[in-house]
Each structure stands twice: as C-alpha cells, then as structure tokens.
C-alpha cells in the first residue's frame, strides 16, 4: 500500500543497518525483489546527501559565522579573515626580537664592545679595570658564576634584577638567606633561575663574609693576594684579543702555564681555584675564575692597541 511504501522510504533514509531476518521475510512477502530494495536504498541515500556538508566543513562554517535570530529578522556576522599560520609565527617572532642599535663611533680603539651600548659601557668602565672593593668583587664573582654555560650578553641584561634579588650583593645579607629566599628568587622571571647557582651564591656569601671579618684586608685582600706577579701571565702574550674563548688545548695543565692567552687558565688561576674550593666556595672552576680575574682587573686582557690597556697598566704601576 502507499502508507507502507512511505514507511519503507523513511527506513531506508535512516543510517544503514543490517536488517533483521524477520524484516527480510516481510519485504519478500510484499513482492519487492532484492534488486529493488538496493536501488531504492541507494537513490534515497544519494538524495539525502545533496546539499549537505562534511563535519569538517560544518565546523569551519560555525567557527566563521555567528547567527543571531529574533522574531522578525535573521542576521549573520562574519569574522574577519585570520592571518596564515606561518605569517602569525613570523609576526610574533619579530615582535619578541629586538635588535640593539650599534653605538656611534667615538674615535676610540676598542678590542671589543662595539656591538651594543650595554656592551660598550661594560668594556669601558668595568671589564679589566682594577676593583678593590669587597662588595663589588663579590658581585662580579656572582655574575661570573651565573654566566656559566650562557652568553655574557644575557647576564648583562639581567644584572640589575640579579643584584636586586641578592640584596645589592651585600654578602652579609645574602649569607642569611634561607630556603624561602631561594624559592622567592626562583619565582622572579628576570633572573637566571637555576637553583644550584642560586644556592652556590648564598654559600659563597657565607665564605666571603667570614673572610671579610677574619682576613687582613677582608675579602678583597684575600682575592688580590692571588694576583699574578709576572706581567707575562697578567697580560696577553700576543697582545691581541682572541675571538675564540673555548678551551681547546688541554695538553698543558693550568699549573704549568706561565704565558696568558686569555683563553686558558694560568698557574695563578690554578692555585686560586684550589684555595677557593678549600674555603668552601661553590661553582667556581678554573674557567669561571679566569673570567673573574679578567673582569675585576687582576689580569689586563685588553688588546695592547685598545685604549683601555694603557690606562689600566698605568693604574697597576701606581700600586
């Protein structure tokens, strides 16, 4: 009958299911052949797919349009087209990267420090200039410790925050730091958040405070008593600043090195490292303490044609 054919059509339009055995017998009793059933099912399925969209297309369509309906009108607001993914990545990367402008030429000959104003200021006022104040020496030792495994430019950018978190490098105050202070420093995003280095700074502050109270001349007197006596060890043997600061030649031990090349620790560095570790200083290897000696002016490792070299040598001769 007509009603029964409509019911079959609705059944065929539903998701495909394996018919039960009873339904097969009922279809056969109406006189419909198996071929007719397959043709009717295929045509119904094709009609149902006309004008439809895939789930992925429907999802994108819902994401790009929002419909607002009331009793009388229907409006569709389309979102602005988004940028391609590669373009987004390049835009975000360029916004994070800031290229420091090179400082203007002032006519001074420098062995390094012309890449940024921050680097130039450090070269002209700190690196290699004799420092004899205990708190400043301790602060520079802390910075060299934090620089281990990193570029010096990172330390320079974070120096202000590091100094602030460590009480202005006052080793008497830092020596009283506890585990809560360690956790506080680790939460600061502007410092180098390395737990071992932070704990080493606190331990070194305790040793520096003890030396300040017990040693003749304080912490500064203890540091400067390890300064090399021979100019061959204190200044660069070739007089030229080396671009490669990697320790590539380890055939000769530091204790046997009498000439300084600015890269390998010398005999004075070797004995200073032993003395520091014996007192309880942490995270102070020969390479770190070589950088420390260079920074605080115990060694004058400016190139001989750098303007700072002659001025620093004149200060050494006055001592």
Tens digits of per-residue pLDDT, 220-262?
999 999 999 888 899 998 888 765 555 556 678 899 888 888 8
Classified as helix, coil or strand, 245 is coil
| pTM, entire model | 0.68
30 has pLDDT over 50: no
pLDDT of residue 76: 43
* Integer angstrom CA distances of residue 128 from 158, 203, 204, 221: 20, 26, 22, 18
Q: Under a CB-based contact definition with an 8 Å cutoff, are residues 231 and 260 in contact?
A: no
Overall average pLDDT of the 135-150 stretch: 96
Task: Name the helix (H) or strand (E) containing 75.
Answer: strand 74-78
Q: Which helix (H) or strand (E) holds 171?
A: helix 171-174
Residue 319: pLDDT band (50, 70, 90) is low
267 or 70, which is more confident: 267
Report d(CA 21, CA 9) in Å as an integer: 19
Percent of the chain surpassing pLDDT 90: 52
> Does residue 183 sit in helix, strand or coil?
helix
Q: In this model, does residue 72 exceed pLDDT 90?
A: no
Is the model's pLDDT at 169 over the cut of 90? yes
Q: Which residues of 77-111 are buried (b: 16+ CB within 10 A; e: fewer)?
A: eeeeeeeeeeeeeeeeeeeeeeeeeeeeeeeeebb
| pLDDT beyond 50 at 29 | no
Residue 19, helix vs strand vs coil: coil
Rg (CA), the chain: 38
Total Cβ atoms within 10 A of residue 68? 9
Predicted confidence at residue 67, as pLDDT, reads 40
Beta pairing partners, 68: 75
So what's the pLDDT on residue 110? 93
pLDDT of residue 109: 93
Residue 71 has pLDDT above 70, yes or no: no
Asked if 272 and 226 touch (Cβ cutoff 8 Å), the reply is yes
| DSSP category for residue 31 | T
Three-state DSSP state, 85: helix
Confidence band for 263, pLDDT divided at 50, 70 and 90 = confident
In the predicted structure, residue 205 carries a pLDDT above the cut 90: yes
Give the pLDDT band of residue 5 (cuts 50, 70, 90). Answer: confident
Distance of CA 249 to the CA centre of its chain: 29
User: Is the pLDDT score of 51 beyond 50?
Assistant: no
If one compares 290 and 94, the residue with the highest pLDDT of the two is 290
The pLDDT score that the predictor gives to residue 100 is: 62
* Strand blocks (E) in 88-225: none
- Long-range interactions of 274-279: CB distance < 8 A, separation 24+: 275/226, 279/207, 279/211
């Amino acid at each position: 009958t007509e009603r029964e054919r409509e019911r079959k059509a609705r059944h065929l339009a539903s998701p495909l299911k394996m018919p039960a055995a009873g339904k097969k017998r009922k279809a056969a009793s109406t006189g419909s052949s198996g071929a007719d059933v397959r043709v009717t099912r295929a045509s119904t399925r094709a009609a149902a797919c006309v004008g439809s969209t895939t789930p992925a297309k429907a999802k994108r369509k819902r994401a790009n349009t929002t419909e607002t309906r009331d009793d009388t009108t229907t409006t569709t607001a389309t979102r602005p087209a988004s940028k391609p993914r590669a373009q987004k990545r390049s835009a975000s990367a360029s916004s994070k990267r800031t290229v420091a402008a090179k400082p203007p030429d002032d006519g001074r000959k420098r062995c390094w420090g012309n890449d940024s104003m921050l680097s130039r200021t450090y070269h002209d006022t700190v690196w290699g200039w004799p420092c004899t104040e205990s708190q400043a020496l301790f602060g520079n030792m802390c910075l060299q410790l934090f620089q281990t495994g990193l570029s010096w430019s990172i330390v320079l950018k974070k120096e202000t925050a590091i100094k602030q978190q460590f009480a202005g490098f006052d080793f008497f105050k830092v020596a009283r730091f506890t585990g809560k202070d360690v956790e506080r420093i680790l939460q600061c995003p502007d410092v180098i958040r390395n737990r071992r280095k932070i704990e080493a700074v606190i331990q070194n502050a305790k040793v520096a405070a003890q030396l300040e109270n017990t040693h003749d001349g304080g912490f500064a007197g203890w540091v400067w008593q390890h300064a090399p006596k021979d100019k061959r060890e204190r200044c660069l043997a070739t007089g030229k600043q080396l671009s490669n600061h990697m320790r590539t030649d380890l055939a000769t031990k530091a204790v046997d090195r009498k000439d300084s090349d600015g890269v390998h620790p010398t005999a004075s560095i070797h004995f200073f490292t032993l003395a520091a570790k014996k007192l309880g200083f942490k995270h102070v290897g020969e390479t770190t303490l070589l950088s420390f000696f260079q920074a605080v002016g115990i060694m004058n490792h400016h190139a001989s044609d750098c303007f700072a070299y002659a001025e620093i040598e004149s200060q050494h001769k006055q001592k």
